[in-house]
Amino acid sequence: MEEKSYDSLKIENIVASGAIADSIDLVEVSKKIPGCELNTKRFPGAVFRIEKPKIASLIFSSGKIVLTGGRNNQALVDGLDIIVAALKEAGVNTFDVPLVAVTNVVCSYNLGKYINLNRVVITLNLENIEYEPEQFPGLVYRIKDPKIVALLFSSGKIILTGGTNLTDIKRGVDFLEQKLESII
C-alpha cells in the first residue's frame, strides 16, 4: 500500500510547557535580561521573546514556563536552551534538565476541494460540530480520538489544533477526509 502524502500539511505553531526551576524572582530576571518584560498589573508572568529561533516564552514565579512560536521541535529545544542560559546568567537556579513537553501542535492543511459546510452540518454528528456563519466563517469540528479540534473553511483549508504530536494531527486529517469523502 502506498503511503499517504501530507504535502499541504504545515506546522504553524508548537506550544510546550513545563518547569525549569523551583521558583524564579521575576523582578530580578526582568531587570537583568534585556528584552524580558514584566508588567504584573497586566499579566502575572514575564514575557521573554527571542528572535533566532523565533520563540516567545511566558515565565512564571513558580518556575513554570510556556514556549510558543516554534515550527518544529528543534526550534523549541534551541529556544529553551537560550532562555535557560539567559536565566542562569541572571542568577536563577534552574533545573539541570528542564521538565518541558509539547502540549499543543497547530497545523494548517489544504484539502484541495471546496467544502459545503452546510452539508457537513446536516450530514455529520451535530454533537461534535459548531457552525454559526454569522459569527465565524469556519465550522468547528471536535474529533474525539485523537482529541483534535479542526476548523474547516469552505475554501478547503483546515486548521487542526490540540494534538501533542504530528501523528495525532495526521490521524485527525485522515479522520476528517474519511468523514468528508461522501459529502464533498
pLDDT (tens digit per residue) in 122-170:
988 778 999 999 999 999 999 999 999 999 999 999 999 999 999 999 9
For residue 50, what are the β-bridge partners? 55
Please check whether residues 94 and 125 belong to one and the same domain. no
Please check whether residues 75 and 121 belong to one and the same domain. no
| Residue 119 lies inside a defined structural domain of this protein | yes
- Radius of gyration for the alpha carbons in the chain, expressed in angstroms and rounded: 20
pLDDT tens track for 58-90: 999 999 999 999 999 999 999 999 999 999 999
Cβ neighbours of residue 49 closer than 8 Å, sequence gap 6 or more = 35, 55, 56, 57
Rounded Cα distance between 20 and 26, Å, is 13
Task: Give percent of the chain above pLDDT 90.
Answer: 90
Residue after which a domain boundary falls, among 82, 103, 124: 103
| Residue 4 lies inside a defined structural domain of this protein | no
| Residue 51 lies inside a defined structural domain of this protein | yes
Q: Which domain holds residue 119?
A: 111-180
Residue after which a domain boundary falls, among 103, 123, 153: 103
Q: What is the pLDDT of residue 183?
A: 83
- Under DSSP, the state recorded for 29 is H
Residue after which a domain boundary falls, among 50, 83, 103: 103
| Residue 148 lies inside a defined structural domain of this protein | yes
**φ, ψ for residue 171 (rounded to 5)?**
-65, -35
Please check whether residues 90 and 147 belong to one and the same domain. no
**CB 155, CB 94: distance < 8 Å:** no
Q: 47: domain CATH number? A: 3.30.310.10
| Residue 155 lies inside a defined structural domain of this protein | yes
Q: What is the pLDDT of residue 166?
A: 95
| Residue 2 lies inside a defined structural domain of this protein | no
Please check whether residues 95 and 148 belong to one and the same domain. no
| Residue 49 lies inside a defined structural domain of this protein | yes
Domain count for the chain:
2
Q: What is the pLDDT of residue 3?
A: 64
Check the CA dihedral 114-151-128-162 and report its sign: positive
